[in-house]
Amino acid sequence: MATVFPAKDRFVIDAAGLRADFETFAAVLRARTSVRVTDFELIRKGQGNIFRLDSSSGSYALNILFVPGYPRKKQFEFVYGLLDENSIEHPRLEYFDESPELFPYGFMVHSWTPGLDAEHQGTDWLDSLIDALAPLHKVPADAFWSSTGFRYQSLKSYMTHVFDEIEHSFGDGLLKPCRIVGLEDAGIVQAGELEALRSLIGKLSDLITEELGDVQPCLLHGDPLPGNLIIRDEENPSWIDWSESRMGWWPFDLARLLYYYKDARIFERFIQKKAQGTGINAIARYVAFEHVRQDLRQLFLIGFRNYNDSSELQGPAQVILKRIHKRLDIVLGRGIDYEKLISL
pLDDT tens digits for range 275-330:
876 799 999 999 999 999 999 999 999 999 999 999 999 999 999 999 999 999 99
pLDDT tens digits for range 127-180:
999 999 999 999 999 999 988 889 999 999 999 999 999 999 988 899 999 999
Q: For position 249, what pLDDT does the model report?
A: 97
Which domains, from first to last, does the chain contain? 15-112 (3.30.200.20), 117-343 (3.90.1200)
What are the backbone angles phi and psi of residue 229, rounded to the nearest 5°?
-115, 115
Cα–Cα distances in angstroms (integers) from residue 210 to residues 13, 94, 250, 251, 269, in the given order: 49, 46, 18, 17, 24
Q: Are 289 and 204 in contact (CB under 8 A)?
A: yes
pLDDT tens digits for range 177-203:
999 999 999 999 999 999 999 999 999
Which residues are CB-neighbours of 110 under 8 A, at least 6 positions away?
Answer: 60, 61, 63, 91, 92, 93, 94, 240
Residue 235: which H helix or E strand, with range?
Answer: none
Which residues are CB-neighbours of 196 under 8 A, at least 6 positions away?
Answer: none
Task: Using CB atoms within 10 Å of the CB of residue 41, give its burial: 0 to 12 exposed, 13 to 18 middle, 19+ buried.
Answer: exposed
Q: Return the higher-pLDDT residue of 314 and 232.
A: 314
- Please state, in angstroms and rounded to a whole number, the distance separating the CA atoms of residues 252 and 239: 16
Q: For position 123, what pLDDT does the model report?
A: 62
Query: Does residue 84 have a pLDDT over 70?
Result: yes
- According to DSSP, residue 275 is labeled I
**Helix count (H) and strand count (E) of the chain?**
13, 12
> What is the model's pTM?
0.95
- Average pLDDT score over the chain: 93
Helix, strand, or coil (residue 138): coil
Q: Are 260 and 294 in contact (CB under 8 A)?
A: no
As a residue count, the chain comes to 344
Q: Are 229 and 131 in contact (CB under 8 A)?
A: no
Q: Return the higher-pLDDT residue of 275 and 224.
A: 224
Q: Are 292 and 327 in contact (CB under 8 A)?
A: yes
